[in-house]
Structure 1
Amino acid sequence: MAFFVGTIEPAGVLHDKLGLSAVSGWIAGLNPDNVGCIVVGLLVVVWAVAIAHWRLAKVEERRRARTADAG
């Protein structure tokens, strides 16, 4: 994520100075504020999915049963 966010500004500068392709124009047109919001949104979604998996799959109970059997 940091690499992607960090390439937005240099891509914009290179696009303006060198007149690069449409892909660099698309990247140069990204607003860093919007990218930040998208990153935060993705992190919240991933966090929510992880919590849901933890609870619905009963990961903690399976882990406890495995360690109880081993001990």
Structure 2
Amino acid sequence: MNPCSILFGREVREELIRSLILAVEPRALTPEATHALQHSFNSPKATWLGGVADALVNPVDGTWDAT
């Protein structure tokens, strides 16, 4: 199952990814990390886990505001 599949709505994709992260490292989702994760789903790269990670590390202009 691809938790980033466009067959799932955005909220479902976010919840699946959050659940995976929490299963591996429960303390990883700080408010800042949660905010960044939410914005990473605006990226066209976020159609697979590697794309989500890439969107977090290399955000596309206009999809993430660090302020």
- Structures share fold, TM-score greater than 0.5: no
Structure with bigger RCO (C-alpha 8 Å, 6+ apart): 2
The alignment's TM-score, normalised by the length of structure 2, stands at 0.28
The alignment's TM-score, normalised by the length of structure 1, stands at 0.27
Larger relative helix fraction: 1
